[in-house]
């Protein structure tokens, strides 16, 4: 993962750390909930998705909101790859 002359904001860093910490089990809803629990701040879906797109443009790798997992409740897994 190589960031192209870009600095990351606090929210961007938080999202990346949670995704990388969760690895292959990083699902969008769970990542948002974990951030909310740890920071005490509400994370809207729009802000979350916009930040993922911005991180990808900055070169933080490919952050892919793939299709829902086949279990009850669904959820969108996030793949983070260079």
Structural domains of the chain sorted by starting position, each given as residue range(s) with its CATH number in brackets: 10-81 (1.10.10.10)
Q: What is the DSSP string of 12-69?
A: HHHHHHHHHHHGGG-BHHHHHHHHHHHH-----HHHHHHHHHHHHHTTS-EEEE-PPP
pLDDT at site 7:
85
Considering the entire predicted model, what is its pTM?
A: 0.72
More confident residue, 1 or 11: 11
| pLDDT tens, residue by residue, 24-67 | 777 888 889 999 999 999 999 899 989 988 888 888 777 766 54
């Amino acid at each position: 993962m190589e960031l192209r002359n870009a600095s990351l904001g606090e929210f961007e860093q938080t999202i990346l750390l949670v995704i990388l910490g969760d690895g292959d089990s990083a699902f969008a809803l769970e990542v948002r909930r974990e951030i909310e629990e740890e920071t005490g701040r509400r994370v809207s879906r729009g802000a979350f998705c916009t930040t993922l797109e911005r991180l990808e443009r900055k070169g933080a790798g490919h952050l892919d909101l793939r299709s829902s997992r086949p279990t009850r409740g669904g959820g969108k897994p996030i793949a983070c790859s260079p």
